[in-house]
Amino acid sequence: MSDPAGHLGHIQVERSEADALALELRTWLAGFPAEPPVKPDHRKKLRWPPPSTSHQYHVLASDWRGSAILEVHGERLSVQVASGPYGVFGRCEQIWLEARGETEAEMLNNMRSAAEPYFRKALGIHEVLGLPGRFRGHIEELEPLALVKLLFAENRDIADDAQIEIEKHAGTKLFGPALIEVLRNTSHRNRRIAQWCVLDLFEELPAYCRDATEERLAVDAMRALIWDATDDYARAVFKAGVVIGGHLSETYGGPVLIECLAAPSRIGRRSAIHGLFHVVEWVPDLRESVVAKLRTHAESEPEELLAEFARRIAADIEAEIVEHYPEPFFPGE
């Protein structure tokens, strides 16, 4: 695919392009050994550049008379230096970073430490894409396949940036099949990060799917995620229940989540119970039948925590409670 994602605009892509993107992603994912999913850290948003240190200390333009070299991750970067009563200041325009220290050496050490999150993210982008060195461009310039690959980054801030860029081009209908492939994946170690991002995008599912058949494939992928869940890392399984119950309630929510009450996964059943509360929020005509299903389920649910959760959610729905009973956590979660 030659068109970079940033140039897609709102053009409706050819049907074959969307299928080709999904195939490329599936081929890429097949190259990874099957691993259990890892439990990711919370997202840490990198805000760059940081506030100007020299501005805080009122360093003047005429004070920048010296120069130094910052060595970081194999690179040698030029640094402008200013000295004054408050210490030694450095400015590296190549990475939009400033630092201060009592000596030039201390300033460079402080700058190196401050640059680490920036380099870690830039190196992380190229690591996912299988490229050397650090990423020096802009996310919006990347091609569609690269954006979907970045959803699998270990650094959740990278995945979030890719998600935002994909969301900008939802109207092209290019990404739907590839995003379904992300939900179906059972091998990549960082799949929960990627799946959470996709589920967040699929809160507006019709924007990504070319037709009702593709929507159903996406819902089936969410159902499978709930049905076989071995963990709830990144809250991906929880999110699947929220999307089906709270955002697709009128078309799929009730029947799919009621079916998932029989899932072999207790994590999946928890997601289904919670999601049914949101189904009734949007489709109040289902209140009576959902309450009955939850109470029947509570009688046969083998996990007492979930049996109680089902009873409580049923009672909250019946009473039209706005804030429902909190979902339980299993030992070890």
How confident is the model at residue 13, as a pLDDT? 52
C-alpha–C-alpha distance, residues 250 and 271, integer Å = 18
Which residue type occupies 194? A
Spatial CA neighbour of 310 closest among 330, 296, 331: 296
How confident is the model at residue 184, as a pLDDT? 98
Q: Which two tokens stand for residue 241?
A: 């229940």
Radius of gyration of the chain (CA): 25
- By the 8 A CB rule, do 162 and 1 touch? no
| Architecture of the structural domain at 5-43+142-318 | Alpha Horseshoe (1.25)
How confident is the model at residue 322, as a pLDDT? 86
Q: How far is CA 123 from CA 75, 112, 136, 142, 145, in A?
A: 12, 15, 9, 15, 18
Residues of the chain falling short of pLDDT 50: 1-11
Q: How many CB atoms lie within 10 A of CB 309?
A: 23
Q: What are phi and psi of 266, to 5 degrees?
A: -65, -30
Residue 41 exposed, middle or buried by CB count within 10 Å (0-12, 13-18, 19+) = exposed
One-character DSSP codes across 198-209? HHHHGGGHHHH-
Torsion of CA 225, 168, 17, 123, to 10 degrees: -80
One-character DSSP codes across 40-76? PPPP----SSPPPHHHHTT--GGGEEEEEEEEETTEE
Domain boundaries, the chain: 5-43+142-318, 53-122
Spatial CA neighbour of 18 closest among 211, 237, 241: 211
pLDDT in tens, 6-59: 444 434 556 699 999 999 999 999 999 999 999 999 999 999 999 999 999 999
